[in-house]
């Protein structure tokens, strides 16, 4: 019975990364960015390209818009870096949107693991497996989107789980990459 429940949790959590989907989204997003923005400026991508081969990168962007994760994945792909798997709240796993996010690398987690030791164990195993494989990760240290534009206080749950999972099987060094995504227009 516990095994069946663990499998259901894996199905709830796991990403279903699809390279053909990424190729499609690359074309769609390129057109979208060309219409929305008058350029995207990226700093320090060369440093990341030098660090990436021997390290597991964990991107920690600020979160002001649902465009954040799309833009970061697009920019990393354009810069020749691996697209990260993205931690997303289970509330985003809704019909139509959830499967698309999964194919783009989203994995889902509940807001609270309290009272769910099996869920916690399955999530920990999933995270450990990704880190062991050197999979780039992305999550929003603030936990959710800022509705005001100001940074929110950090929520340390995912950071704690990442460090614990890394310590469980430390194959490659972790590098935490803070990311600022600004939508301000410079005049």
Domain assignment present for residue 112? The answer is: yes
At 39 the pLDDT is 74
Residue by residue, DSSP assigns 91-158 as GG--TTHHHHHHHTTEEEE-S--TT-HHHHHHHHHHHHHHHHTT--EE--TTSS--SSSSPPPP--HH
pLDDT bin (cut points 50, 70, 90) of residue 127 is very high
**Can you give the residue range of the structural domain that contains 48?**
2-179
Number of domains in the chain: 1
Say yes or no to pLDDT of 183 above 80: no
More confident residue, 67 or 172: 172
| Buried b or exposed e, range 125-141, using 16+ CB within 10 angstroms | bbbbebbbeebbbbbbb
Domain assignment present for residue 184? The answer is: no
Give residues with Cβ within 8 angstroms of 29, minimum separation 6: 70, 74
Q: Rounded to 5 degrees, what are φ and ψ at 50?
A: -75, -40
Say yes or no to pLDDT of 146 above 90: no
At 68, which CATH number? Answer: 3.40.1130.10
Domain assignment present for residue 171? The answer is: yes
Spatial distance between the Cα atoms of 51 and 74, rounded to a whole number of angstroms: 19
Domain assignment present for residue 185? The answer is: no
Report the pLDDT averaged over residues 24-48.
87
Domain assignment present for residue 54? The answer is: yes
At 187 the pLDDT is 46
Domain assignment present for residue 56? The answer is: yes
pTM, full prediction: 0.90
Domain assignment present for residue 187? The answer is: no
């Amino acid at each position: 019975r516990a095994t069946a429940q663990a499998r259901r949790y894996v199905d709830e959590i796991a990403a279903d990364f699809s390279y053909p989907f990424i190729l499609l989204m690359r074309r769609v997003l390129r057109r979208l960015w060309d219409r929305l923005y008058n350029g995207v400026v990226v700093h320090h991508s060369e440093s990341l390209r030098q660090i990436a081969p021997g390290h597991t990168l964990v991107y920690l962007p600020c979160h002001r818009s649902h465009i954040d994760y799309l833009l970061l994945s697009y920019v990393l792909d354009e810069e020749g870096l691996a697209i990260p798997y993205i931690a997303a709240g289970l509330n985003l796993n809704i019909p139509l949107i959830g499967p698309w996010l999964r194919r783009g690398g989203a994995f889902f987690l509940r807001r609270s693991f309290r009272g769910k030791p099996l869920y916690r164990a399955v999530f920990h195993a999933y995270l450990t497996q990704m880190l062991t494989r050197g999979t780039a990760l992305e999550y929003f240290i603030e936990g959710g989107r800022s509705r005001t534009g100001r940074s929110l206080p950090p929520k340390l749950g995912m950071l704690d789980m990442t460090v614990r999972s890394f310590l469980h099987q430390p194959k490659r060094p972790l590098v935490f990459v803070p990311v600022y995504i600004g939508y301000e227009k410079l005049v």
